[in-house]
A and B are shown apart, each in its own frame.
Chain A
Amino acid sequence: MQQTWTRVRRSWELYLLVLLPVLYLLIFQYIPMFGVIIAFKDFNIIKGILGSPWVGFKHFTDLFQSPNFPLLIKNTLLISLYSLLAGFPIPILLALALNEIRTGFFKRSVQMITYAPHFISTVVMVSIIILMLSPHVGVVDRLFSFLGWSDTNFMGEPKLFKSIYVWSGVWQEMGYASIIYIAALSGVDPSLYEAARMDGASRLKKILYIDLPSLLPIAVTMLILSLGSVMGVGFEKIYLMQNSLNVSTSEVISTYVYKVGLLGANFSFSSAVGLFNSIINLVLLVSVNAIARRVSENSLW
């Protein structure tokens, strides 16, 4: 105890430095965490969070009984699983392919160009999608009519929403997401490659038996992280891509929270939806982590 105190006194400057960020954490992260109790209350703006009456699980049962509920869950899960299925392997393949090429103009151009879309803002990204897919004038629709397929109103077609969302996401993020795997590959011990070459391994075998296993730990970590946020499909892009025609397949939990909560000023109900969402995420994260630890000895903690 005495010892700890001396240590604390000796590094008082460090505590002074960290004071501001910790205050930020307490105010802007932890106060809202306690603010979630409004999900169990009937929030009244005049009485405030503490003064509003408790209603228990009323908002949760309202949510579960709401006719929108199954659709919301279905859309949220389908969109994020689809994104995961398409978005997870492609960056790994890209990294493996880039790793086969010696450094030079081609490699540098591929990297520079594929990383670039990551820096395009969501607003601009969605505008690009809408412009390219717009009927008659958009380049994709013109290509389709050129090939003899009839005019399609892509953004107004509920069936197409998920694919447009997912594949435009892959287009935007694959290059950037591959960086982490490229970094991992650059850390592989070169003597492994030399030994493999001595033994007469082909390029493909080298990829299968050296590169892929080296990527496994980081891939598992990324998978856990993304599974942990399966229910947290990005609000921004979906909200911007939504229109009255595709809303039946594009309404997800986060857009619903925004519409009911902030636009409809139904704070308590909306918080309950948000809380329900975070809890599922937390449960998913913890259980996927446990499975990963048992199966592959890789886990977040």
Chain B
Amino acid sequence: MLTKTKIREPFGDRVLLVTIYVLLGALTLTVLYPLLYILSSSLSSPNAVVSGQIWLYPVEFSLKAYKSIFQSSQLMRGYYNSIVYTVIGTFINVAFTVLMAFPLSQRAMAGRKYIMILMMITMFFSGGLIPTYLLVKNLHLLDTRWALWLPSAFSVFQVIIARTFFMSSIPMELQEASQIDGCRDTRYLWSIVLPLSKPILAVMTLMYAVGHWNAYFDALIYLRSEALFPLQYVLRNMLILNAADPEMLANTAQKLRDQGFEQVLKYALIVVACIPVLIMYPFVQKHFVKGVMIGSLKG
């Protein structure tokens, strides 16, 4: 009879391992707890929130806050605007990143070193807030959607990651073979490099999309018209400046309002703002770990 023999770990090692498990567990709980607390509060009655009954799970379950969020036209417009900014902005970002990274990855291109330097300088030195603002103003982009798309068309960091990927993960032989078959650079990029780069494109799309979805600063300095405000800007007014939309409170009795309906509303707003990112997150989480690895290891 075969018996599996296994060398038992020494006592000290097992103690260390148990300590690590305990510490990691505690750390994970400290990250998780506030998130659960917010979710539970958003699903509770104003009464329970204000009287401090919530510690972990919802008390006096209620969806009222969510209902009134969907009645707020201000918020829904913000949602719509954010989707527009994110979709088009991310498309511009990814296109520019590939257009920059692909030529820089081609050894055949003379002078790519100078373009690389031109790009790297911007990582360490920039004109700063005021000169950039004046440029946007002079180009008449103030208070247009373009102000949120153009001044940040790509990130140098992403270009470097993409370039490294093109250089290290796509075999040279493919290029030689396609060149012999009469394939020009653009065709090579489109038909061979891009289909092979799906993981890195997915990571890049996620990074840029999250950036657009979460951005509020550009809106703060460049936008004036309420109709253009993205979700984060609307949220900032409601959550931090405490300017709740009257429409959200319209169907709420004064008494309920006093009991802290606005408080519950805030928790619900936080949840609603995070939903799109959270839905995307599990699908791409695996990818972005890989993406960071590509960028960090072979740089």
- Give the distance in Å from the alpha carbon of A110 to the alpha carbon of B185 in the complex: 44
Chain B 249-299 residues near chain A, CB threshold 8 A: 260, 263, 266-267, 269-270, 273-274, 277-278, 281-282, 285, 288-289, 292-293, 296-297
Whole-angstrom distance between the Cβ of B294 and the nearest chain A Cβ: 9
The answer to whether B172 has its CB under 8 Å from any CB of chain A is no
Q: Are A262's CB and B17's CB within 8 A?
A: no
A8 and B292 contacting across the interface, CB-CB below 8 Å: no
Q: Which of B103, B106, B124, B240 contacts A282 (CB 8 A)?
A: B124
Shortest Cβ gap from A212 to chain B (Å): 15
B28 — which chain A residues lie within 8 A by C-beta? 109-110, 113-114
Size of interface on A: residues with Cβ below 8 Å to B? 91
Given contacts A119-B277, A123-B236, contact A36 B129 (CB under 8 A): no
Known A-B contacts A123-B239, A179-B289; the reply to A262 vs B151 at CB < 8 A is no
What is the distance, in angstroms, from A183's C-beta to the closest C-beta of chain B? 4
Whether B38 lies near A128 (C-beta < 8 A) is yes
Q: Within the assembled complex, what's the spacing in Å between the Cα atoms of A282 and B126?
A: 11
Interface membership of chain A positions 172-187, coded 1 if the CB is closer than 8 angstroms to chain B and 0 otherwise: 0001000110111011
Residues A58-76 near B (CB distance < 8 A): none
- B128 contact from A24, A98, A257, Cβ within 8 A: A257
Q: Are B38 and A28 in contact (CB under 8 A)?
A: no
Q: Which residue of B lies closest to A16 (CB)?
A: B186
Interface SS majority for chain A:
helix
0/1 string, B48-75, CB within 8 A of A gives 1? 0110101100000000000000000000
Question: Would you call B80 an interface residue if the criterion is a C-beta within 8 Å of the partner chain's C-beta atoms?
Answer: no
Interface majority SS on B: helix, strand, loop or mixed?
Answer: helix
Q: B52: which of A116, A137, A175, A281 is its contact (CB, 8 Å)?
A: A137
Residues of B within 8 A of A186 (CB): 293
CB of A202 within 8 A of CB of B235, answer no
Which of A29, A109, A139, A281 is in CB contact (< 8 Å) with B55? A139
Instruction: List, in ascending order, chain B residues with CB within 8 A of A136's CB.
Output: 52
Contact A203 B52 (CB under 8 A): no
Cα separation A144 to B299 with both chains bound (whole Å): 48
List residues of B whose CB falls within 8 A of some A CB: 9-10, 12-13, 16-17, 20-21, 23-25, 27-28, 30-32, 34-35, 37-38, 49-50, 52, 54-55, 96, 99-100, 102-104, 106, 108-111, 115, 118-119, 122, 124-135, 150-154, 184-186, 189, 210, 213-217, 221, 232-233, 235-236, 239-240, 260, 263, 266-267, 269-270, 273-274, 277-278, 281-282, 285, 288-289, 292-293, 296-297
> Which 5 interchain pairs have the tightest Cβ spacing?
A32-B127, A35-B131, A121-B214, A274-B128, A21-B100
